[in-house]
Amino acid sequence: MDPPVPHYPISDRKRRHQKPRVLQSCTSCREKKLKCNRALPCMNCKKRKLGQFCRYVKARPEHPEQAVLHRDNRSSAPWPSECNTESGTRFVNSGHWQTIMKDATKQLENQNIADHSSGEEYLQAGPHGPVLLSGLSRNVDMSDLVASLPTRQIADKLVFRCLESDEPALMFIHPPTFQCEYRKFWQSPCAVSPAWLALLYGVLSCGAWIENTMNPVMVKSELPDLFHDLRENCAVSIAKSDLTAPGYYKVEAALMYMGIEYLGSNNSKTGVSILLGIISRLAIMMGYHRSTQLYHPPLRPFEVEMRRRCWLLLSVTDSIVALQSGLPRVIYQGLGDLTRPRNLLYEDLDPAMSILPPSRPETETPSRIMYMLALDDMLSVAYEITDITSKGAITPERTICLDQELKATRDRLPGALRMPLRTKAPEAQSDITIMQHTLEMIYQRSRCILHRQYLVSPQPTNIYRTFRWACVDAARCVLEYQCELFQDVLRSPGNRQRVWFGASRSVSDCLTVAMVLCLDMINESKAAQPFSESTRTEFIQLLHKTYLSLKDTPRPSVEVAKAAERVATMLYQMGHAVTEGELRCSEPAAAGASQLPNSQLADHTAAPEEGASFPYTTFEDFLNGDSPLELFDWGLWDWEVQQFNSPLVENI
């Protein structure tokens, strides 16, 4: 049987009959809207020292309707065995925001509401993938790497910035020990090993990132060339150290490099996931996952404790990257028998100690180790829920058991790390407030994913309605905590200069629950008993407030800007586009708008007038053929959205 001829709105005819254009600018210049001189590499890529990533698309692909017919006429081999050998496939589990957004978009398409974006640009690896995976040569002399270091004055400043940041993810570096090694290094630079030099370059790169992030003048600009140079030299040093053989500082240097790649990336962290697999294998090969009692001669107590911290960081990062990228974890549950690190401060540790002191009590002020242990507990349950729900629908009984397990994990958290009943914590404990918000958002996101299958349940029983509302309520809580975190906590005087590596994870959680809330409102609009007008207005206002908090956050980045655009996209599709005033609002105005009462905030949620165009240049560029979104395959879009709990597998 011939495939049905797709129907397209009359408004699309003009664009369909336009002659396909040849894409003559490189992909990086097109993404950044820069004038390209069309060389290989182009002048812009050379200036940014990204010449090795300069790429061109030969021709614009066929029109959307032709792509649909082309895919419909292909063989009917089951997915994913049918794949394009030139482009491959991509898997994203059902708990990822990309899959949820496409569920929502499918519902909008059924209501004849056209969509103008794919989110594809968010998943593209782009020209900023991990440098280590780009085929760097190891034929570089150590003398050249040492000579490429910044001056001692600059290096001292960057090292201080990194080691004094109080960021929990840097717990695997003991500042007093590193400072001692750092001073010895400058006495004889050429005697250093490639692995330790890689660790130094990683610390310097982290310091450059912090310096740029904490500078109110530079925070909205792109990362400086110094950061990219230090990151590349870190990768070259790691490659020269040979990760296929055990050695001192190799795991620590690789962890530091993975961290700066995570901070410097604006995509879905798939490159970081691949790096994590390599580093995990190296750590396993060196026995970081096993009890240290097996080693002969035995390791020093200080070294034992630092190895435990490295493995804890690997576990936490594995869970975070898995949830952000939509890929499975690299380290499977139950691997190894290593004892968890003790709750000790840096002053409690010394390389010469013969025995480790006991852990500090949990009643004390939360330390970085205490927070990372709590984060590992919450993320482990969160990933377990995501993994189980991505395999298909689960029974109500299983849902209740997982919900109880999730609540029990939160109840076991140290009291100081639990979210207080009051809305704002004392300013003196502003660093603890960020920890509390992070853990509570992970808990609520997990509740949302656990109950998501009941959003479209055909069974109108009380328990199904309870589960559905639990999902919606959890999504609402995450968005409220996100707004409070970005607009209040990070703007407080005690946090303006505080380093925070968790923005990317927080934005990913925000996108996930925002798409769930949009999907639920779309489904409810077709239900026999839809939401009350007040409830729907409340949700729309919350989405607008989320958009404002992302758009005018005190910690702006490309990733945050893309998230704000994605929220605005769904609001536009549901007929509640952001206003021109919101798009032009300044940072103080946005902060004020987020605190408006409901009656005033409702002014921002008006539906667009008939014939009004969406003010985002993304959609204008899309319609005019000047956006990377024009490469999106609409046939694949329609094919991918299958059963509600199906994962997302796509050609890329």
- Of 96-110, 128-142, 203-217, where does mean pLDDT reach its minimum? 96-110
Residue 522: CB partners within 8 Å, gap ≥ 6?
104, 107, 108, 111, 574
DSSP-based three-state secondary structure for 637: helix
Average pLDDT of the residues in 422-440: 71
Confidence class for position 564, pLDDT limits 50, 70, 90: confident
Tokens 């962290």, residue located: 269
Confidence class for position 531, pLDDT limits 50, 70, 90: low
Confidence class for position 45, pLDDT limits 50, 70, 90: confident
pLDDT tens-digit map of 396-419: 999 999 999 999 999 999 999 998
Structure tokens at 45: 């890529």
Structure tokens at 238: 């790691």
CA pair distance 98, 508, nearest whole angstrom: 10
Confidence class for position 591, pLDDT limits 50, 70, 90: very low
- So what's the pLDDT on residue 309? 96
CATH assignment, 22-58:
4.10.240
User: Quick check: 501 and 264 in contact, CB under 8 A?
Assistant: no
Strand partners, 56: 26
Average pLDDT of the residues in 243-257: 93
- So what's the pLDDT on residue 97? 57
- Of 183-197, 226-240, 490-504, 565-579, where does mean pLDDT reach its minimum? 490-504
Q: What angle do CA 211, 213, 219 make, to 5 degrees?
A: 120
Average pLDDT of the residues in 465-484: 91
Parse the chain into domains and list their residue ranges: 22-58, 131-338, 369-421+430-574
CA pair distance 594, 544, nearest whole angstrom: 9
Supply the mean pLDDT for the chain: 75
- So what's the pLDDT on residue 68? 32
- So what's the pLDDT on residue 366? 87
Q: Taking the CB of residue 101, how many other CB atoms lie within 10 A of it?
A: 27
pLDDT at 635 over 80: no
The DSSP element (H or E) to which 89 belongs, if any, is strand 89-92
- So what's the pLDDT on residue 458? 65
C-alpha dihedral (479, 484, 490, 494), degrees to nearest 10: -150
Structure tokens at 415: 């009291």
- So what's the pLDDT on residue 406? 96
pLDDT tens-digit map of 194-222: 999 999 999 999 999 988 887 656 655 66
- Of 142-151, 175-184, 528-537, 597-606, where does mean pLDDT reach its minimum? 597-606
pLDDT tens-digit map of 256-287: 999 999 988 876 688 899 999 999 999 999 98
